[in-house]
Structure 1
Amino acid sequence: TTLLSVDFPSSLVSVGDCAFHCCTALTSVALPVGVVSIGEEAFCSCSSLASVTLPASVTSIGRGAFRSCRSLTSVALPAGVVSIGEEAFSSCSLTSIHLPAGVTSIGYRTFAGCR
């Protein structure tokens, strides 16, 4: 609950399931080039998370990856994203989102409750 920032190594290729679940003090995340996937509930309930930078290498966003990130108002999804899991951005405060042309799968309730 007191983790404020994370310096990710350039060798990182995936963020695992629940890796930063409930890190309520985390305000921003900038994933390095080379990250391909974001696991299920990886950043779920990071209520202060307001800024997310995803590299072009990301192709999949797991179920509930950013669920209940109530400070998150916008996300730029890179062109390489193909699948977005169930409830990936549910209960966020998104005001707009651009879905890349290559998206082939959007899960159930992906944007549910985005006020």
Structure 2
Amino acid sequence: MLTVRTQIEVPGYHYWPAAGEEKSFLGNLHRHMFTFSAELRVDGADREVEFFMLQDRMRAVLAHPGAPFNGLLHPRVGVSMSCEEMARTMGKMLVEFGYSVASCSVAEDHESEGIWYNDDAV
């Protein structure tokens, strides 16, 4: 199996309303440097998917006002999504655009990440 992987970094804002008492501070809007990575299956070794085009698509998904990420890039809005949920959402949206997504991940501040694996990838 051959795959390609690329990533983009964006400053973003999120919060976790159901954080619970011990982690209640996470319920407040806070900023991270998010790294979105996508790994795609490819059939050949001749750059079937161009990295910069995939990166542009990922940025467009994040910035689209109708997408589930609406608010992520805005410091006074944010999104109520975990890294795992953002990874799954980005992965599924890329699948809708016709990409053969093997996995997608979202990391916070280069420390921790949530990873979605596409069980339907052939």
Bigger fraction of residues in strand:
2
Bigger fraction of residues in helix:
2
Query: With structure 2 as the length reference, what TM-score do the two structures score?
Result: 0.23
Higher relative contact order (Cα pairs below 8 Å, separated by 6+ residues): 2
Pair member with larger Rg: 2
